[in-house]
């Protein structure tokens, strides 16, 4: 039997569901929370409820949004001819720190037989529909450079090519993949051989 | 400018306040939360509000409780003559895994000049009052074996002795300190010298 009051134990259980948060970390977070001012705790609870109430998926790119169209899809200053396909909304946050100015499409996962994720679980049909109106001229495949990410990129490019051959998608649509290579600031001698191989394959003319 | 919807950014800021949780971890937690079912998110929000509404401090030991008296102070099966003084409620959770059967007293912190915590910030008066009715026969000082914990234990024992001399607290009250020594399962050769010294000082007759 737990010696903790029921509502405390319940909150610890809730926190334990987060990835990378075990029961010990969850306890520490909850006890820290309970050492705070009552107003601060209420604020957190309300913030969770508010995010749940206000956040929807953008109808166009499936990014998180507080309206039908996210701030990126709704913006006039973005390049509407380039579409970057990513796994999840968190990837967009990272990519927005670069000078990329195009639009995004959130696939909602990566193909992974081990985790029982097949193409039907992803937004492949939605992506095909998005590409079929002819506005997009370049689709950048920006899935992770992992086994699952590579397989997903491969699958998507094959699918799009299939629809290009059937005429549903314009043949002029270019499919590109983000470069795999050595991360900036890293040490060549410690790089794994696959990364090195990719880095050689992707070499470019030196100014 | 953040590209995230306001309520998402707000929740990330809230999560960032937890100790050991930086903005990156907070983002990951929030995006994970948003990938869950709507019901699950609501549950978490309600659990935070519920814990804030229901949890009070036990009037007797200042442990977290859902009624005026916590389950330990209200229990008939605990040894009411022994009082263990701890820094915070989380310590009680750890100690309840031992076979300790007495009661607790939550001090609410440790004396720490660096963090600007002086004895007046702790529940020292409350502790003296608790001891003055004569029920408690042993007070176990179970503050951390850190600099602050040792200083606090020292301070408390001096305070209680002062009140024992003035007659407010029974002279028969015994003051004890939890043993410092080598943790079970550890390796003697890697132990620091202070721990080893304490371990020698605290040696006991074998069988």
Provide the chain A residues 1-40 that lie in CB contact (below 8 A) with chain B.
Answer: 3-8, 10-11, 14, 17-19, 21, 27-35, 38, 40
Radius of gyration for the alpha carbons in chain B, expressed in angstroms and rounded? 22
- pLDDT tier at A109, thresholds 50, 70, 90: very high
pLDDT digits (tens, 9 = 90+) for A177-190: 999 898 888 888 88
Q: Do A5 and B50 touch (CB under 8 A)?
A: no
- pLDDT tier at A126, thresholds 50, 70, 90: very high
Q: Out of B7, B38, B93, name the one closest to residue A50 (CB).
A: B7
Instruction: Output the pLDDT for position B203.
Output: 85
State both tokens at A13: 């259980």
Query: For the residues B1-12, what does the mean pLDDT come to?
Result: 86
Instruction: Output the pLDDT for position B2.
Output: 67
- pLDDT tier at A164, thresholds 50, 70, 90: very high
Query: For the residues B29-58, what does the mean pLDDT come to?
Result: 94
The C-alpha atoms of residue B200 and residue B195 are separated, in whole angstroms, by: 9
DSSP string, B43-68: HHHHHHHHHHHH-EE-TTT--EESSS
- pLDDT tier at B190, thresholds 50, 70, 90: confident
- In this predicted structure, the answer to whether residue B179 has a pLDDT above a threshold of 80 is yes
Report whether B164 contacts B173 (CB < 8 A). yes
Tell me which residue of B175, B16, B158 sits closest to A43, measured CA to CA.
Answer: B16
Q: Do A44 and B48 touch (CB under 8 A)?
A: yes
Instruction: Output the pLDDT for position A2.
Output: 67
- In this predicted structure, the answer to whether residue B1 has a pLDDT above a threshold of 60 is no
Assess B65–A contact: CB distance below 8 Å, yes or no: yes
The C-alpha atoms of residue A68 and residue A58 are separated, in whole angstroms, by: 5
- pLDDT tier at A206, thresholds 50, 70, 90: confident
CATH topology of domain B64-179+194-201: Dna Topoisomerase Vi A Subunit; Chain: A, domain 2 (3.40.1360)
Query: For the residues B20-30, what does the mean pLDDT come to?
Result: 92
CATH superfamily to which B6-54 belongs:
RecR Domain 1 (1.10.8.420)
ipTM confidence: 0.82
- For A176, A181, A203, B47, the CA distances from A206, given in Å and listed in that order, are 21, 15, 9, 58
Instruction: Output the pLDDT for position A177.
Output: 93
First to last CA, chain B: 69
Instruction: Output the pLDDT for position A199.
Output: 87
Please write down the HEC assignment for all residues of chain A: CCCCCHHHHHHHHHHHCCCCCCHHHHHHHHHHHHCCCHHHHHHHHHHHHHHHHHCEECCCCCCEECCCCCCCCCCCCCCCCEEEEECCHHHHHHHCCCCCCCEEEECCCCCECCCCECHHHCCHHHHHHHHCCCCCCEEEECCCCCHHHHHHHHHHHHHHHHHHHHCCCCCCCEEEECCCCCCCCCCHHHCCHHHHHHHHHCCCCCC
Which of A1, A6, A8, A78 is best to mutate for the B interface (most B CBs within 10 A)?
A8
Query: For the residues A127-151, what does the mean pLDDT come to?
Result: 94
CATH of A64-179+195-201, one of 3.20.20.70, 3.40.50.300, 3.40.1360.10, 3.40.140.10: 3.40.1360.10
Sketch the domain layout of chain B as residue ranges: 6-54, 64-179+194-201
The C-alpha atoms of residue A170 and residue A165 are separated, in whole angstroms, by: 9
Instruction: Output the pLDDT for position B205.
Output: 82
Query: For the residues B34-40, what does the mean pLDDT come to?
Result: 92
> Which region among A82-91, A159-168, B154-163, B183-192 has the lowest average model confidence (pLDDT)?
B183-192
Query: For the residues A28-40, what does the mean pLDDT come to?
Result: 92
pLDDT digits (tens, 9 = 90+) for B149-175: 999 999 999 999 999 999 999 999 999
- In this predicted structure, the answer to whether residue A203 has a pLDDT above a threshold of 90 is no
- In this predicted structure, the answer to whether residue B42 has a pLDDT above a threshold of 90 is yes
- Chain B neighbors of A19, CB-CB under 8 A: 28, 32
The C-alpha atoms of residue B76 and residue B79 are separated, in whole angstroms, by: 8
Query: For the residues A107-130, what does the mean pLDDT come to?
Result: 95
- In this prediction, what percent of chain B has a pLDDT beyond 70? 99
Assess B101–A contact: CB distance below 8 Å, yes or no: no
Nearest-CA distance B22 → chain A (Å): 13
Average pLDDT in chain B: 93
SS3 B177: strand
Please identify which residue in the block is written with the tokens 């550890």. Answer: B186
- In this predicted structure, the answer to whether residue A13 has a pLDDT above a threshold of 90 is yes
């Amino acid at each position: 039997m737990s010696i903790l009051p029921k509502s405390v134990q319940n909150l610890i259980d809730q926190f334990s569901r987060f990835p990378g948060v075990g029961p010990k970390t969850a306890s520490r977070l909850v006890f820290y929370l309970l050492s705070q001012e009552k107003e601060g705790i209420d604020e957190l609870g309300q913030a969770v409820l508010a995010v749940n109430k206000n956040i929807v998926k953008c109808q166009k790119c499936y990014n998180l949004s507080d309206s039908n169209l996210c701030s990126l899809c709704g913006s006039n200053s973005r390049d509407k001819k380039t579409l970057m396909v990513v796994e999840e909304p968190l990837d967009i946050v990272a990519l927005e720190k670069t000078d990329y100015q195009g639009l995004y499409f959130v696939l909602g996962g990566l193909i992974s037989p081990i985790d029982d994720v097949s193409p039907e679980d992803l937004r492949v049909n939605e992506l095909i529909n998005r590409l079929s109106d002819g506005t997009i001229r370049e689709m950048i495949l920006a899935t992770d450079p992992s086994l699952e990410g590579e397989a997903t990129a491969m699958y998507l490019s094959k699918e799009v090519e299939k629809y290009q051959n059937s005429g549903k998608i314009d043949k002029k649509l270019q499919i590109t993949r983000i470069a795999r290579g050595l991360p900036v600031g890293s040490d060549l001698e410690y790089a794994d051989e696959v990364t090195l191989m990719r880095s050689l394959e992707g070499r470019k003319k030196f100014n």
